[in-house]
Amino acid sequence: QVQLVESGGGLVQAGGSLRLSCAVSGRSISSHTMGWFRQAPRKEREFVAAISWNGGNTLYSPSVKGRFTISRHIAGNTMALQMDSLKPEDTAVYYCARDRHPDRVGLTPGDYAYWGQGTQVTVSS
């Protein structure tokens, strides 16, 4: 059974930084694409970033590209999302997830089979 647990959320002022972490258990983090999604109140869950199974390919939403960086630590079986230059519109619950398939990079929530419980990120103006 694959389990994902996020941590690192919190309250930060606009322009600040946060680092989210996702701990994976039950399967190696290098077996599938891993992704980050977010969901703001009254909005649909949206794609933020993803890293391919071999770490060779990363994708970002245009709204976060250049400000967020996705990475993973194979030995620790963890994934991270470094978020810089945060804006109030980044406020949301952030989720880590694992793709259903091992050899693609999914961009929609339906592409992902396993999810963490989410961590709240609030950016004040």
What is the per-residue pLDDT across 5-61, written as a single tens digit (0 to 9) for each? Answer: 999 999 999 999 999 999 999 989 989 999 999 999 999 999 999 999 988 899 999
66: left (phi over 0), alpha (psi -120 to 50) or beta: left
β-strands 68-73, 92-99: how paired? unpaired
Q: Give me the phi and psi of 43, to 5 degrees please.
A: -125, 160
Nearest 5°: the CA angle 36, 42, 43 is: 40
Distance separating alpha carbons of residues 123 and 125, to the nearest angstrom = 7
Q: What is the structure's pLDDT at 60?
A: 97
